Amino acid sequence: MNPAELSASLLAIVSAMLERRGATQTLTIDDVALERPRNRDHGDWASNIAMKLAKPLGSSPRDIAAEVTAELESVAGVASVSIAGPGFINITLDAAAAGEIARTILDQGEVYGRNEGLAGQSINLEFVSANPTGPLHIGHTRWAALGDSLARVLRASGATIATEFYINDAGNQMDNFGASILAAARGLETPENGYPGQYIADLASRVVQLEPNLLILADDEALAVARETGYRLQLGEIQASLERFNVHFDVWFSERELHAIDQATGQSAIDSAIDRLRVQGHVFDADDAVWVKTTDFGDDKDRVIRRGNGIFTYFAADAAYYLSKSDRGYTHKIYLLGADHHGYVHRLKALAGSAGDDPERDIEVLIGQLVSINGARLSKRAGNIIELNDLQAWLGTDALRYSLGRYPADSPLTLDPELLQKRTNDNPVFYVQYAHARTHQVARNAAASGVTREVFDASLLTHETESMLLGILAEFPRVVLQSAELREPHRIARYSEELAGAYHRWYDNCRVTPLGEETVTDTHRTRLWLNDATGIVLRNALGLLGVSAPERM
**In this predicted structure, what is the pLDDT of residue 375?**
67
| Euclidean distance between CA atoms 258 and 376, whole angstroms | 38
Rg, Å, the chain Cα set? 29
Whether 541 contacts 113, CB under 8 Å = yes
**What pLDDT is stored for residue 2 in this prediction?**
79
Residues 6+ apart with CB under 8 A from 5: none
185, 214 in Cβ contact below 8 A? yes
Nearest partner of 488 among 261, 160, 149, judged by Cα: 149
- Report pLDDT for 371: 85
The pLDDT of residue 369 is: 84
Give per-residue pLDDT as tens, 223-277.
Answer: 999 999 999 999 999 999 999 999 999 999 999 999 999 999 999 999 999 999 9
CATH hierarchy code of domain 3-93:
3.30.1360.70
pLDDT at 377: 64
280 contact partners, CB below 8 Å, separation of at least 6: 354, 355, 356
Q: What are the start and end residues of each CATH 3.40.50.620 domain in the chain?
A: 255-368
CATH 3.30.1360.70 maps onto the chain at 3-93
DSSP state at residue 262: P
Backbone angles phi, psi at 314, to 5 degrees: -60, -30
| Cα distances (Å, whole numbers) of residue 308 to 13, 85, 267, 291, 469 | 67, 69, 19, 10, 67
Q: What's the pTM value of the predicted model, to 2 decimals? A: 0.90
- The phi, psi pair for 179, rounded to 5°, reads -65, -35
Low-confidence ranges of the chain (pLDDT < 70): 40, 375-384
Regarding the domain with residue range 255-368, which homologous superfamily does it belong to in the CATH classification? Answer: HUPs (3.40.50.620)
Q: What is the per-residue pLDDT for 381?
A: 62
Domain with CATH 1.10.730.10 in the chain: 422-544
User: How distant is the alpha carbon of residue 535 from its chain centre?
Assistant: 22
CA angle 458, 461, 462 (to 5 degrees): 130
CATH, domain 422-544, list 1.10.730.10, 1.10.3720.10, 1.10.287.1080, 3.40.50.970 = 1.10.730.10
**The predicted structure's pLDDT at residue 378:** 56
Interior angle at CA 127, CA 123 and CA 131, nearest 5: 140
Other Cβ atoms within 10 Å of 320 Cβ, number: 24
